[in-house]
Structure 1
């Protein structure tokens, strides 16, 4: 099953172009945070989780909280476990260079 197919199941969204854009953005974020040029299998779920979070947050970008119809919603950053996973697979820079196997 492809990542787009998994995201369709998780979100119920049928717009593959939207899911692809969100998936690419999440992948670029993870690669930038880990100093990597390619995604390793251990980070696939992290990218998928970030994509689902981005999908769910559409229309609320930049908001910290919202009240509607007597209900209050607060928005947090991504869960700590996502950032912990990203940190675990981060490559260090040595002399300004990153050595990726």
Structure 2
């Protein structure tokens, strides 16, 4: 998940349909986004944990997803990972992302 800011992660939960509008805080509190939850999100800590390297953001996401699907993510491993989704966006246009990209990988 492209979490260039803490609120961005919440907004993207809703944009991707992981929860209803306004329910992102409840989704986090439920534990559903944890490694063993309904839908694991950013098990590596997300972009902010890496200092948000602009040029390497998308590559880091795909590397993490590949490790998850191969079962080589160590302590961050989502048990039985079969499908992975990367969401990346940039810029703002009228209060929304100017460009967005979703990549889905599967085993």
Larger helix share, 1 or 2: 1
Larger strand share, 1 or 2: 2
Q: State TM-score, norm by structure 2.
A: 0.29
